[in-house]
Structure 1
Amino acid sequence: MYPPIEPYETGKLKVSNIHTLYYELSGNREGRPAVDYPVTVVFLHGGPGGGCDPKDRSFFDPTKYKIVLFDQRGAGKSTPTASLEENTTWDLVKDVEKLRTHLSIEKWHVFGGSWGSTLALAYAQSHPDRVLSLVLRGIFTLRKSELNFFYQEGTSHLFPDAWDEYIAQIPEAERNDMVLAYHAQLNSEDSETRIRAAKAWSKWEMATSKLYVDPAHIARAAEDDWANAFARIENHYFVNDGWMRDGQLLEKQGIDKIRHIPCIVVQGRYDVVCPARTAYDLKKIWPEITLHVVPDAGHSSREPGIAKLLVQATDSFSDI
């Protein structure tokens, strides 16, 4: 990954009567030799509800890219924090386009991992004429089978110790639908119940995201504000099926709209949050993509093999 950099501009964009997004620009603002404008990339963070991290700027060559990071509705520095009102997949798709227009960008590269890959596919299928390339990681399309694997039965067989902590928050009689059971607690009128559930929900994901479990990664789930936004928004999307038909983003009519867009996918072989099945299914319906399966990686974009291939991908598209 490229060395850390600081943004040269930050701003806020009001996208509804309720929501205001935080965004930042870093990297190249002047253009490249023989080109009077910088090539622009927009980074779509995971979760939903996860927000951006300063390290996310480092996937891109700052001498070539104008790098746009923004926190999605209710996440990170966007306000109001953890808000579920007017917060759907299609609201976020509209927000990406509003931000592009606000920044006077004609077309841009789109980069997203995990939930960010979901939003990237949804945005590209809605606005294919605005996307120069796609770099995706840990493909997730919100199918019921994907949610069941991680939140009901699948990953539980690989991380039984972390699973026991995750289900301990829920009465035994309600464990047949963990997403729905957590939804009740994450939206409880009692703030202590909400925060306790948010930390347990977040810890489950943090504890399973890397091939080698990272205590620092898990520790983030103990932060009240971050866990509250991450868990409440993520669960809100999942309990509502992302406001999409099951498998909608993998349907031929949607893929046909973006088939011309160059796309590189990086997938960890041992990703138990967004298992390789979905990336494989995307490759079957869209054989034109380049799919890299990293043999010694899980879900996190910070794992060495994944990070290396993501940077190689963005480097390869920097002259488009």
Structure 2
Amino acid sequence: MPSDALPFPPAPLLEHGMFDVGDGHRLYFERCGKPDGLPVLFLHGGPGSGCNPRQRQLFDPARFQVVLFDQRGCGRSTPRGGCHANTTRELIDDIERLRLHLGIGRWLVFGGSWGAALGVAYCSTHPQACLGAILRGSFLTGQPDLDWFFGPEGAGAICADAWSSFCTALPPAAEGRALAALCASLGEGADARAARVAAEAWAAWEEALITPGRAPAAPPVRDAAERAALIDKYRVQAHYLAHRGFLGEETVLEAAGRMAGIPAAILHGRLDLVCRARNALRLHAALPGSRLQLVEGAGHSPFDPPLTRALIGALAHFAEHGDFARWPGA
């Protein structure tokens, strides 16, 4: 299964629009697939990324009714890049407001990377609304994750050439102050050129970790609108990472411990350099009754073919059985 040839066409849109959640924020959302299908909530990563049509191709349009939305400050939500009143607590409330707005009783929560941490936080807060959870490439939001991602002795020791390029573009990174430098360069009111350099350096570093072992691609040529969107994306991400996702690793694991009774499947690529497989092991140990699958030959991206197949298999299993008791896993 080539990574650019997913098995399903993008699920047809049933509705889409903007949803006012207060605090000056309006969220873009879309509902797609089968009108009376099994409801699934898709939580994007980042933080800051947003949703795209390719993500809809993970879901069988004849079986699932999928809800996707761009979190506060992300993608098509407004104000894009806005960090005011933008914390995990607000995101959890937004998800519940959206569920009630759409008239959905309970749904399967499907989150990857940052979306996995947000999924755990939501499920533990509103267990009555959750049929189950599929958590991919889990980011636990703690200092160990940040030290790995932004450290010369972490991912920087593996992708040494990309780390060197990152440090050249953002010299404080070499001094162990990468996140602080990114926050300063991307904050509201920051110098436009510094923000552009920081955002492009961050994007290149992230891409190197998502596609390890591949020759680095030439930097994309972005127009002014694309550069502005990239800056806004990483402004939100810097805001969340500076506050450990407004959670922290121990808080995420404690929340997972309150998910007893919610069927949960945890999937993680063995080659994931963005979020290490140790996160999946820790989450599995904390989440009562969860099932774990470490996926061979896959990294962080859900579009790595082995991980795509595993995710689609987990979705199909839940649709047929309503749990993960007999789903392949440790």
Does the alignment reach a TM-score above 0.5?
yes
> Are residues 172 and 199 of structure 1, via their aligned partners in 2, closer, same or farther at CA, if it must alter by over 3 Å?
closer
Deviation at 1:221, TM superposition (A): 8.3
**Equivalent residue number for residue 200 of structure 1:** 201
Q: Which runs of 5+ in 2 are unaligned?
A: 1-6, 323-330
SS of equivalent residue, structure 1 residue 236: helix
1:23 aligns with 2:29: yes
Supply the AA of the counterpart residue of 2:150.
Answer: Y
SS of equivalent residue, structure 2 residue 65: strand
CA distance in 1, matches of 2:53, 2:217: 16
Supply the AA of the counterpart residue of 2:81.
Answer: A
**Equivalent residue number for residue 155 of structure 1:** 155
Map 1:246-285 → 2, pairs under 5 A: 246-251=249-254, 254-285=255-286
1:64 aligns with 2:63: yes
Deviation at 1:215, TM superposition (A): 6.2
Deviation at 1:241, TM superposition (A): 1.5
Q: Is the 8 A contact 2:159 2:212 kept in 1?
A: no
**Equivalent residue number for residue 326 of structure 2:** none
Percent same amino acid among aligned pairs?
37
**Equivalent residue number for residue 183 of structure 1:** 183
Supply the AA of the counterpart residue of 2:318.
Answer: F
Supply the AA of the counterpart residue of 1:68.
Answer: V
Supply the AA of the counterpart residue of 2:131.
Answer: L
Deviation at 1:21, TM superposition (A): 0.3
Structure 1's consecutive aligned runs of 4 or more residues displaced over 6 angstroms after TM superposition are 214-218
1:131 aligns with 2:130: yes
CA distance in 2, matches of 1:196, 1:274: 24
Moved more, 309-318 or 182-191: 182-191
SS of equivalent residue, structure 1 residue 183: helix
SS of equivalent residue, structure 1 residue 247: helix
Deviation at 1:202, TM superposition (A): 1.8
Q: Is the 8 A contact 1:142 1:242 kept in 2?
A: yes
Deviation at 1:90, TM superposition (A): 1.1
CA distance in 1, matches of 2:141, 2:221: 24
Deviation at 1:256, TM superposition (A): 3.5
CA distance in 2, matches of 1:173, 1:232: 17
Q: Is the 8 A contact 1:42 1:67 kept in 2?
A: yes
Map 1:1-320 → 2, pairs under 5 A: 1-29=7-35, 31=36, 38-152=37-151, 153-172=153-172, 175-187=175-187, 189-213=190-214, 219=220, 223-251=226-254, 254-286=255-287, 288-319=289-320, 320=322
TM-score, reference length from structure 1: 0.91
Q: Is the 8 A contact 1:211 1:299 kept in 2?
A: no
SS of equivalent residue, structure 1 residue 208: helix
**Equivalent residue number for residue 34 of structure 1:** none
Deviation at 1:65, TM superposition (A): 1.1
Q: CA RMSD in A?
A: 2.1
Deviation at 1:7, TM superposition (A): 1.2
CA distance in 2, matches of 1:118, 1:17: 23
SS of equivalent residue, structure 1 residue 11: strand
Across the two proteins, how many residue pairs are aligned to each other?
Answer: 311
> Are residues 175 and 267 of structure 1, via their aligned partners in 2, closer, same or farther at CA, if it must alter by over 3 Å?
same
Q: Is the 8 A contact 2:150 2:173 kept in 1?
A: no
Supply the AA of the counterpart residue of 1:160.
Answer: A
Q: Is the 8 A contact 1:111 1:134 kept in 2?
A: yes
> Are residues 260 and 231 of structure 1, via their aligned partners in 2, closer, same or farther at CA, if it must alter by over 3 Å?
same
Q: Is the 8 A contact 2:42 2:109 kept in 1?
A: yes
CA distance in 2, matches of 1:65, 1:245: 32
CA distance in 2, matches of 1:309, 1:217: 31
SS of equivalent residue, structure 2 residue 57: helix
Q: Deviations over 1:280-300 (max 9, x none)?
A: 111222352111111211111
SS of equivalent residue, structure 2 residue 13: coil
Moved more, 288-297 or 224-233: 224-233
> Are residues 196 and 172 of structure 1, via their aligned partners in 2, closer, same or farther at CA, if it must alter by over 3 Å?
closer
CA distance in 2, matches of 1:217, 1:132: 43
CA distance in 2, matches of 1:62, 1:119: 25
Q: Is the 8 A contact 1:117 1:138 kept in 2?
A: yes
> Are residues 59 and 221 of structure 1, via their aligned partners in 2, closer, same or farther at CA, if it must alter by over 3 Å?
farther
> Are residues 146 and 172 of structure 1, via their aligned partners in 2, closer, same or farther at CA, if it must alter by over 3 Å?
closer
Deviation at 1:174, TM superposition (A): 7.4
Deviation at 1:218, TM superposition (A): 6.8
Deviation at 1:189, TM superposition (A): 2.6
CA distance in 2, matches of 1:7, 1:220: 31
Moved more, 188-197 or 156-165: 188-197
